């Protein structure tokens, strides 16, 4: 759906059961809604009205977006919530999406029912003293990308292909913040360099992570799902219940058909946005105001995460008053590499927040 927001927003929706509460899925840096939540839409749609938008500059409708900021993305989502409309959705933010969800809760508390923060933090920079340099470099890079859009699009495609080949040799999925591109949050650079050392992948849900009333084993098998039955573009233009899946998505991460679709999906993004978003994450720090945040919250910690360190995630859980803590024994790419481990936790976290 080309939503009537400024800038225009593309989103996917699964209608969910009649009268079901709504969830809003917010993807990570250099991903798209489809790429981040490919293995999640069908499962979450069994319990909730599920909407997954692209953030500004990411994926389809991304080219020509306004300059990226976490605050701007939060305001975009507020307009989307009012425009659809969604009744007090639970906002699930993954990695960079977690930062956007935090700011959305701060700026537009009246619009949401709660936040679930996954594989994310209150601050990402490993070297805060380099933030001024990162800001200057990102402005130069973003300005050049906007001045020469054709060259920027070619460079983006080359970078994605280059990184996917390297990720394949490490057994990583070509999705999620660490596996998609090569711009650093933590090392103080916006050029080449990894966000982290990669994500671990498979693991088991930690003891006590799901809590009472666990969903159970219904998510097993999602990592190889050929499509996303029941999901659709919000304008109804694209059906997703056949073999084609999300506009051609099929197979599982690492397989040729998935790799080709993932390349196409990311290549629709704006390179300037990726540069600006990296700098925005480097500058982001919510630790000063999170203790005053009055919103039902849950923090899902990926305990083998090598991109957003678990200690950062644990700190986030401590900073938010009365936040419910969940642990998944997996790495940063669990949402695409092993969604069957993560999704029951998300469902239970959302259910618990909806009852507050």
Query: Cα–Cα distance between 129 and 126 in angstroms, integer?
Result: 9
Structure confidence at residue 170 (pLDDT): 59
CB 333 within 8 A of CB 99: no
Structure confidence at residue 262 (pLDDT): 79
First to last CA, the chain: 31
Structure confidence at residue 198 (pLDDT): 32
Query: Cα–Cα distance between 43 and 77 in angstroms, integer?
Result: 22
What are the structure tokens assigned to 90, written together? 């639970």
Query: Cα–Cα distance between 349 and 347 in angstroms, integer?
Result: 5
- List the beta strands (DSSP E) in 130-262: 204-205, 231-233
Measuring CA to CA, how many Å separate 146 from each of 66, 182, 243, 272?
A: 11, 19, 37, 6
Structure confidence at residue 261 (pLDDT): 81
Query: Cα–Cα distance between 144 and 128 in angstroms, integer?
Result: 25
CB 25 within 8 A of CB 45: no
Structure confidence at residue 169 (pLDDT): 63
Tens digit of each residue's pLDDT, the chain (356 residues): 555 555 678 899 999 999 999 999 999 999 999 999 989 999 999 999 999 999 999 987 767 789 999 999 999 999 999 999 999 999 999 999 999 999 999 999 999 999 999 999 999 999 999 999 999 999 999 999 989 888 988 888 888 788 777 766 656 555 544 343 333 333 333 333 333 333 322 233 333 333 333 333 332 222 223 333 444 444 332 323 222 345 555 455 555 577 778 778 878 888 999 999 999 999 999 999 999 999 999 999 999 999 999 999 999 999 999 999 999 999 999 999 999 999 999 999 999 999 98
CB 313 within 8 A of CB 302: yes
Residues in the chain: 356
């Amino acid at each position: 759906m080309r939503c009537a927001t400024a800038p225009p927003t593309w989103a996917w929706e699964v209608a969910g059961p009649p009268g079901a509460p709504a969830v809003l899925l917010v993807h990570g840096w250099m991903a798209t809604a489809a790429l981040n939540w490919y293995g999640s839409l069908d499962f979450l749609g069994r319990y909730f009205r599920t909407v997954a938008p692209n953030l500004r500059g990411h994926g389809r409708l991304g080219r020509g977006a306004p300059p990226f900021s976490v605050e701007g993305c939060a305001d975009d989502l507020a307009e989307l919530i009012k425009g659809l409309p969604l009744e007090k959705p639970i906002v699930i933010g993954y990695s960079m999406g977690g930062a956007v969800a935090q700011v959305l809760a701060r700026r537009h508390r009246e619009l949401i029912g709660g936040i679930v923060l996954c594989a994310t933090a209150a601050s990402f920079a490993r070297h805060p003293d380099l933030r001024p340099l990162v800001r200057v470099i990102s402005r130069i890079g973003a300005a050049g990308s906007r001045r020469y859009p054709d060259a920027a699009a070619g460079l983006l495609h080359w970078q994605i292909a280059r990184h996917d080949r390297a990720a394949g040799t490490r057994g990583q999925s070509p999705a999620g913040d660490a596996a998609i591109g090569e711009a650093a949050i933590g090392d103080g650079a916006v050029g080449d360099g990894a966000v982290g050392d990669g994500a671990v992948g498979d693991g088991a849900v930690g003891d006590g992570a799901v809590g009472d009333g666990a969903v159970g084993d219904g998510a097993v098998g999602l990592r190889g799902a050929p499509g996303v039955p029941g999901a659709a573009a919000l304008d109804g233009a694209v059906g997703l219940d056949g073999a084609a899946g999300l506009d051609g998505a099929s197979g599982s991460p690492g397989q040729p058909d998935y790799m080709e679709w993932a390349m196409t999906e990311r290549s629709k993004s704006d390179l300037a946005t990726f540069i600006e978003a990296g700098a925005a994450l480097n500058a982001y720090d919510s630790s000063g105001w999170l203790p005053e945040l009055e919103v039902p919250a849950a923090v899902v910690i990926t305990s083998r995460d090598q991109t957003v360190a678990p200690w950062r995630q644990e700190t986030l859980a401590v900073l938010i008053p009365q936040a419910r803590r969940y642990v998944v024994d997996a790495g940063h790419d669990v949402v695409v590499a092993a969604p069957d481990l993560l999704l029951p936790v998300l469902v239970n976290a959302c259910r618990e927040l909806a009852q507050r």
